Amino acid sequence: MKPATVIKRETVDEIVKLGGAGLFKCYQCGSCTATCAVAEGLFTSFRRVIKYAQLGIKDKVMSDLVPWLCNVHGDCIKACPRDANPCEILAALRRYQSINYDWTGISAWWNYSSLKAKLVLSFTLSLITMLIISLFHGPIITEYVALDTFIPWQSLILFGGSIISVIAILLLSNAYRMYKLVRGNEKYKVGFLTSIILILRFWIKTEIEALKIPDKRVRILEHLSILIGLGLFILLTVIAILYPHAYNNLTIWIIRYIAVGALLYGVGAPLIKRLKRSSNVHWYYRLFRHSTDWTALILVFLVALSGGLLIIFKDLGMPIIAYAVYTVHLGFVVPFLTLEIPFGKHTHWLYKLIANYVATRRGLVRGEELE
């Protein structure tokens, strides 16, 4: 068998720069894997990819899907006898892998640049968008809030659609690159349907177990809120495109506010906790402070906040303000869609999906409980 390959020192430097500061504290005892509720259900270990990272074996790091199976419970942090923070190391590995899945190089820039640089780029895009809108918007109706006159649906769908298409192509191409890397060389061991059932069962089981623990419960709820918020938002967008008159329907109205509320809670709560520097804030908020973690929250927060204000002003019937807020809202949506989703932390949902699927089909997920 051809020996595993060459050590690349740049790999190590890059991973350390991406937040893997504890990488070399690890002495490979396996405590983290043994404590992890997810790892218990796998026939593989994330300790191994940490070792690959330590040695700088780039192709093994890149072809490893285990970092994406992490559900960030954080038990490993407490279990580590060397205080190596395996959870953060895995996050750094995910960032590294994302950078390398992406063929455009934008992900690399996004992950390595400072928070300031990212915000500057994002706000520049926002300003450009807002400028374009202020120059090319439709007629302003002051008697009532006519958002679809201010910016006609067709333009919105055209612009939005083209942006989304480009993003989709980027995302899917990166996802395909990832798939090829993690797929492995052997035939799949587990059938398609069985794997779907396995993944669902596995995920539901580990998350329900995690819910029992108070400090994880809060984070799971926050994360769930974001999912609900974004999911509902997508639902609303689809409905709005297909049934534009349904806008004032009560159910839709309630869903709209729930979406905004969920999003605001889901990103706002962690954001506030991260800003607090006191020690009685949960370790999770004190640890995951990479610039991409911040932008993942900040951009969504701005979108949600502006969106929330928008529907409030619309329902209050204040046209001028509503149009202004609409402009700002769309201004924030653009960097979120074009930068954060394909190149930032938010890509994880896609990579995680692929990783879980491939892991199950390759037979890395245990069927039964480990006795």
Question: Nearest approach, Cβ of 112 to another protein (angstroms)?
Answer: 19
User: Residue 67: which residues within 8 A CB-CB, separation 6 or more?
Assistant: 46, 49, 90, 93, 94, 97
CA distances, 87 to each of 78, 90, 203, 220 (Å):
10, 5, 18, 16
Q: Is 312 in the site for another protein (CB under 8 A)?
A: no
Q: Which of 11, 15, 44, 362 binds another protein (CB under 8 A)?
A: 44
Q: Which of 11, 15, 52, 90 binds another protein (CB under 8 A)?
A: 52
- Output 341 or 364, the one with its CB closest to another protein: 364
Contact between residue 175 and residue 103 where contact means Cβ atoms under 8 Å apart: no
Q: 78-137: which residues touch another protein (CB under 8 A)?
A: 79, 81-84
- Output 5 or 162, the one with its CB closest to another protein: 5
Helix or strand (DSSP H, E) at 227: helix 214-242
User: Residue 147: which residues within 8 A CB-CB, separation 6 or more?
Assistant: 314, 322, 323, 326
CA distance 254 to 211: 27
Stretch that binds another protein, among 18-26, 140-148, 215-223, 290-298 (CB under 8 A): 18-26
Stretch that binds another protein, among 43-51, 103-111, 261-269, 326-334 (CB under 8 A): 43-51
Q: Which of 11, 47, 288, 362 binds another protein (CB under 8 A)?
A: 47
Q: Is 221 in the site for another protein (CB under 8 A)?
A: no
Contact between residue 285 and residue 312 where contact means Cβ atoms under 8 Å apart: no
Q: Residues of 305-341 as b/e, b for ≥16 C-beta within 10 angstroms? A: bbbbbbbebbeeeebeebbbbbbbbbbbbbbbbbbbb
Question: Nearest approach, Cβ of 292 to another protein (angstroms)?
Answer: 23
Q: Which of 10, 14, 18, 45 binds another protein (CB under 8 A)?
A: 45
Q: Is 10 in the site for another protein (CB under 8 A)?
A: no
User: Residue 38: which residues within 8 A CB-CB, separation 6 or more?
Assistant: 69, 70, 71, 73, 206
Q: Which of 17, 24, 190, 324 binds another protein (CB under 8 A)?
A: 24
CA distances, 90 to each of 11, 66, 260, 346, 350 (Å):
14, 9, 31, 16, 17
Q: Is 231 in the site for another protein (CB under 8 A)?
A: no
DSSP for residue 62: H
Q: Is 186 in the site for another protein (CB under 8 A)?
A: no
Q: Which of 17, 48, 223, 282 binds another protein (CB under 8 A)?
A: 48
- Output 23 or 171, the one with its CB closest to another protein: 23
Q: Is 39 in the site for another protein (CB under 8 A)?
A: yes
Question: Nearest approach, Cβ of 365 to another protein (angstroms)?
Answer: 11
| CA triple 348-353-357, angle to 5 deg | 145
Q: Is 37 helix (H, G, I), strand (E, B) or coil?
A: coil
Q: Is 4 in the site for another protein (CB under 8 A)?
A: yes
Q: Which of 26, 87, 304, 354 binds another protein (CB under 8 A)?
A: 26
Q: Is 17 in the site for another protein (CB under 8 A)?
A: no
Give me the DSSP letters along 237-288. Answer: HHHHHH-GGGGG-HHHHHHHHHHHHHHHHHHHHHHHHHH---TTS-HHHHH-
Q: Is 206 in the site for another protein (CB under 8 A)?
A: no
Q: Is 213 in the site for another protein (CB under 8 A)?
A: no
Stretch that binds another protein, among 52-60, 220-228, 322-330, 344-352 (CB under 8 A): 52-60
Stretch that binds another protein, among 16-24, 137-145, 177-185, 321-329 (CB under 8 A): 16-24
Q: Which residue has the tokens 């973690």?
A: 293
Please give the single-letter amino acid code of residue 101.
Y
Q: Which of 10, 143, 186, 371 binds another protein (CB under 8 A)?
A: 371
Which among 226, 252, 225, 222 has a CA at the least distance from the CA of 314?
252
**Interaction site with another protein (CB under 8 A):** 1, 3-7, 9, 12, 16, 23-31, 33-36, 39-40, 42-45, 47-48, 51-52, 54-57, 60, 79, 81-84, 370-371
